[in-house]
Amino acid sequence: MIWSGKKYWITGAFHLLGVFLFSGLANLKAEEGMWIPMLIEKYQIEHMQEAGLRLSAEDIYSINRDCLKDAIVIFGRGCTGEMISDEGLLLTNHHCGEGAVQSHSSVENDYLTNGYWAMSREEELPNENLSVTYLRYIKEVTTEVTEGFIQGMDPQVRERMVNESMGKIIQSATSGTHLEAVVKPFYYGNEYYLFVYEVFRDIRLVGAPPVAIGNFGADQDNWMWPRHTGDFSLFRVYAGKENEPATYDPSNKPYKPRKHLEIAAGGIEEGDFTMILGYPGSTTQYLYSDAVKLMLDKSLPLKIQLRTTRLEIMDRYMKSSDKVRIQYATKYRGVSNAWKKWQGIILGLNRMEAVEKKIEEERAFQQWVDADGERQLKYGGLMDQFTQDYSDIVQYSVAIDLMGEAIEPVELFRQVSRMKGMMRQGVPVELLKNQVERFYKDFYLPIDLEVFAAMMAACREHMADSFLPSFFMEINGKYKGDFYRFAKETYRNSIFSDKNQVIKLLDIYHKNPENAIKQLMKDPMSIYMDQFRELYMVGVNPVYYQLQHELEKSYQTYMAALLEMSADRLLYPDANFSMRLTYGNIHGYRPWDGVQYQFSTTLSGLMEKGTEDFEDYRVPDKLVQLYTEKDYGRYGVEGTMPVCFIASNHTSGGNSGSPVLDADGRLIGINFDRNWEGTMSDIYYDPSLCRNIAVDIRYVLFIVDKFAGAGYLLDEMKITW
């Protein structure tokens, strides 16, 4: 998730990082933190080497020579990947590549269920709109961005100046090149850094195991340990004749990366040093206690309830049809992932008494402010302002949550908005028809109709009356509060319920765009969506964003105070989908009294789960055969086959697909999840409890070679045994 200055302080607060301990700045846990690679030499390299690292800072990040950062990529829009050969071979998670696999799947060629393996370069499948992004360098640009800033200036004026400055910096960095760039705020806008990227767009699917391996355990095991999931997929990056980014062309050649990772297949042990380079998404570690209360008492329970309803509807239809299952597999996983995580966060927050800890820290902060007259002038009243703003924002925050979790999830609402926008921009009819074909390929009307009915009922229950559109009066009157009957009538009358009717509308658009837009505007789904948007624009957004600006101003001041308190700069910055380094060790943990989890799992545990009567634990016959015959090749260890392991690296969303590296920077696993008890690491990191979960690289090699019969791919990897 890319940082946004809008829904950041409230809705973004539900992807938190850790509770800041005012009394423990000098005792920051070694495993804790998400560090900017260019700054590790200054702040962290000695600690890392003391913990076991055998590399220098320049081995990890350098602009003068090839280094580990050159082997790490942004995969798609929200995952991490890593280069594992000098022929463009890329490794990431199965759930990151699942969308690509699904796009190539059909009932006749069900690659989700059966897996896909290219047995030659010619069989590698191109993927529309999939990109891989390499970080070329980072540069601090705080002085350039903040030139002309005045203490206490209006946040809106500041934001305008920031955007203008960032635009100039980006233009200067990319002018005359094919590079792309972004400037990101750190420490709540107290520092700014430029990130310059090279983006490749010819990415081809090489291989993915069947979903019964790549997503073994599915929702049953999601966010849980122990795990037995082979969560990986393989892609290849292609480039033009000069090894430069190019759009898809059959004549393109495999990209020669500046750096690829060596694979360490010799095994792991308890206590081994580990580190992760990747792109954690959007986190916040300095949130005020009332924001945590809002999350626990209102926002997360509401969002969980709404997603539970959507998941139940999708699941019922997916079980009745293979076609629908394929259409909605990726959608279902996208809904369920955060749904289960949020439940773990609530569990962890309550268990760790996070709100109480935050209140204690805020008291300590206030004592620090009150101890100095100058600090009182700069930071006095800050806590009271937080309290007032969070009290004022509650009903608006609920409305924003409903927009994101009840209104926007209705697929026809999204399609109507998308089509309307494209028509108004004058998009050529052929491009519109392509978009329509893509949408309806994975659209099943009965699911969306039920979701629409249920979500509108939820809006009526939870949203302030003043925020509800006028069509709710019709539901209460004509339909006597029967939301399902209202939904059936609406979908019967909407042309967007039928692809053929939409194609006819596009034929009108081709001849007379204005008439087509007028006809679209009369569609009931368009009318209802417009009513929602108008009410949000008038009644919700202005107040909500004004309160956001007030909070932004407060948090910038708050962060400045915390940086003043911590002159040694042991405060690690929030994740914002920029490259970060974390490090820790391979360790088991004790989740509850009397329970001890080991640090690794094996294929035996997978087979034991397979005896249970769960669809999530279905085991492919070929894997059963390999297990029965103990045909593990050189990947097994003393008659067992390692599958997954855990370590104390501090991770978050966006780290999916990140490489887990050993002390020499070699690949030992692929990060894909966290333990449920430790999902509260988004708010409070405890190294005794919080674990990242990785698939062991030996299991990856085993599946590619022995299960898939694609061992030729290993020939291009550098593997150390």
Whole-number Å distance between alpha carbons of 266 and 402:
50
What secondary structure does DSSP assign to 288-357, as a single string? -HHHHHHIIIIIHHHHHHHHHHHHHHHHHHHTT-HHHHHHHHHHHHHHHHHHHHHHHHHHHHHHHTHHHH
Return all residues near 511 (Cβ < 8 A) that are at least 6 apart: none
What secondary structure does DSSP assign to 372-440, as a single string? -HHHHHHHTTHHHHHHHHHHHHHHHHHHHHHIIIIITT-HHHHHHHHHHHHHHTT--HHHHHHHHHHHH
Q: Catalytic: 656?
A: yes
Return all residues near 576 (Cβ < 8 A) that are at least 6 apart: 2, 3, 184, 185, 186, 281, 282, 283
User: Using CA of residue 682, residue 688, residue 689, residue 694, what is the dihedral sign?
Assistant: positive
Whole-number Å distance between alpha carbons of 409 and 331:
10
Contact 693, 227 (CB under 8 A): yes
Contact 278, 671 (CB under 8 A): yes
CA dihedral 408, 410, 412, 418 (to 10 degrees): 20
Whole-number Å distance between alpha carbons of 300 and 84:
39
Whole-number Å distance between alpha carbons of 714 and 704:
8
**Helix or strand (DSSP H, E) at 700:** helix 697-702
The residue annotated as part of the active site, out of 656, 673, 681, 686, is 656
- DSSP summary character for residue 717: S
Q: Catalytic: 59?
A: no
The residue annotated as part of the active site, out of 231, 401, 448, 673, is 231
Contact 508, 520 (CB under 8 A): no
Q: Catalytic: 94?
A: no
Contact 290, 391 (CB under 8 A): yes
Whole-number Å distance between alpha carbons of 674 and 690:
8
Contact 11, 404 (CB under 8 A): yes
Q: What are phi and psi of 263, to 5 degrees?
A: -100, 125
The residue annotated as part of the active site, out of 15, 62, 70, 95, is 95
Return all residues near 137 (Cβ < 8 A) that are at least 6 apart: 63, 196
Return all residues near 364 (Cβ < 8 A) that are at least 6 apart: 22, 23
Residues with a known catalytic role? 95, 231, 656
